[in-house]
């Protein structure tokens, strides 16, 4: 049988599929990570909890402050930050975002799905980049919606009394603070993904996240002065939280964008370590 007969018998000559471009390949991995993120029930519940905490706690704090307006001394009223106060729910909601960031990758290690993921996409850096991109984008959008809702609801509550100032988006620094709350949550989500990749165990990564955000500042406060303030201002929570406040910075605070850059550095360093370990360890 000659070549022509063989081609006819097999239905035609063999066609080689075109090799996808790097951009096309990355887009496919991003779509796969998007599907995996929303196929897990914990994603929706964690994001709903995040919105509920930011909006609910912000409204609750504002209502409680209005109820005590007549009992506050002039000093408390003078230093009041209406924008930051309505966004106080971020301090608790950050744990939900950080934990979900950990689960983005640690859940795959727990179930063994990570082997299938790397089998389909051997370029592990592409997988990590896609996970970070998808989750930080989701965290930013959800955080943006929640922060705007918390701000408007909080200001409407604060406007119910003449003793408190209330803010509008046109006031200096207010729009930056509201958007900054979403930026803070997005960077925190990237930090969670990095810790989840480094430790690969959900419990250990969550413990590291909570320790870094909440436990370490408490321990640093026990250091003698001025070590406690000199070290404390470089911790992630202290460095990053000024981005969603409009109050005047104190002498112990880092400059606004310098502090946020330090906060971002924690996420970048965790992702760099995660990338190195991801290429050197077995799945």
Residue identified by tokens 């290690």 is 109
At residue 21 the predicted structure's pLDDT band, cuts being 50, 70 and 90, is confident
Q: What is the pLDDT of residues 238-279, one digit of tens each?
A: 999 999 998 888 878 899 999 999 999 999 999 999 999 999
pLDDT tier, 13 (very low <50, low <70, confident <90, very high otherwise): low
99: helix, coil or strand?
A: helix
Of 67-71, 85-89, 217-221, 268-272, the least confident: 67-71
pLDDT band at 160 (very low <50, low <70, confident <90, very high): confident
Pull the structure tokens for residue 99.
Answer: 């934990």
pLDDT band at 20 (very low <50, low <70, confident <90, very high): low
Which strand (E) or helix (H) includes residue 265?
A: helix 256-280
Asked whether the beta carbons of 278 and 128 are under 8 A apart, the reply is: yes
pLDDT band, very low/low/confident/very high, at 65 (cuts 50, 70, 90): confident
Decide if 97 contacts 181 (C-beta within 8 A).
Answer: no
Mean pLDDT estimate for the chain? 88
Does residue 11 have a pLDDT over 60? no
State what percent of residues in the chain have pLDDT above 70. Answer: 88
Residue 49's alpha-carbon distances to 54, 56, 173, 188, 209, in angstroms, are 9, 10, 27, 16, 18
Query: Inter-axis angle of helices 124-158 and 113-120, to 10 degrees?
Result: 120
Residue 81 pLDDT exceeds 90: no
Rounded CA separation 124/216 (Å) = 32
Residue 74: per-residue pLDDT: 64
The yes-or-no verdict on residue 208 having pLDDT over 60 is: yes
Q: Are 83 and 177 in contact (CB under 8 A)?
A: yes
Residue 17 has pLDDT above 50, yes or no: no
The arithmetic mean of pLDDT across residues 212-234, rounded, is: 92
| Of 174, 61, 42, residue with least CA distance to 110 | 42
Q: CA–CA separation, 91 vs 94, rounded Å?
A: 6
Q: What is the pLDDT of residue 259?
A: 94
Summarize the confidence of residues 57-61 as an average pLDDT: 93
Say yes or no to pLDDT of 135 above 60. yes
């Amino acid at each position: 049988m000659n070549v022509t007969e063989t081609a006819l018998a097999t239905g035609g000559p063999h066609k080689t599929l075109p090799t996808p471009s790097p951009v096309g390949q990355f887009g496919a991995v991003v779509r796969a990570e998007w599907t995996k993120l929303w196929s897990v029930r914990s994603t929706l519940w964690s994001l709903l909890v995040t919105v509920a905490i930011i909006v609910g706690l912000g409204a609750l704090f504002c209502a409680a402050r209005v109820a005590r307006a007549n009992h506050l001394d002039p000093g408390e009223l003078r230093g009041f930050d209406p924008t930051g106060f309505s966004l106080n729910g971020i301090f608790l909601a950050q744990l939900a975002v950080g934990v979900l960031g950990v689960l983005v990758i640690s859940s795959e290690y727990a179930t063994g799905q990570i082997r299938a993921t790397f089998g389909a996409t051997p370029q592990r850096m592409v997988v990590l980049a896609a996970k970070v991109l998808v989750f930080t984008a989701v965290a930013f959008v959800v955080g943006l919606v929640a922060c705007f809702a918390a701000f408007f609801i909080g200001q409407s509550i604060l406007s119910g009394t003449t003793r408190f100032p209330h803010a509008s988006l046109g006031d200096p620094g207010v729009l930056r603070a509201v958007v900054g709350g979403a930026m803070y949550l997005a960077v925190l989500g990237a930090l969670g993904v990095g810790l989840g990749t480094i430790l690969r165990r959900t419990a250990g990564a969550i413990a590291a996240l909570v320790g870094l955000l909440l436990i370490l500042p408490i321990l640093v406060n026990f250091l003698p002065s001025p070590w406690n303030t000199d070290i404390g201002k470089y911790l992630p929570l202290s460095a990053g939280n000024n981005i969603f406040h409009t109050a005047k910075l104190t002498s112990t605070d880092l400059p606004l964008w310098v502090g946020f850059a330090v906060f971002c550095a924690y996420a970048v360093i965790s992702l760099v370590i995660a990338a190195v370990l991801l290429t050197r360890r077995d799945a």
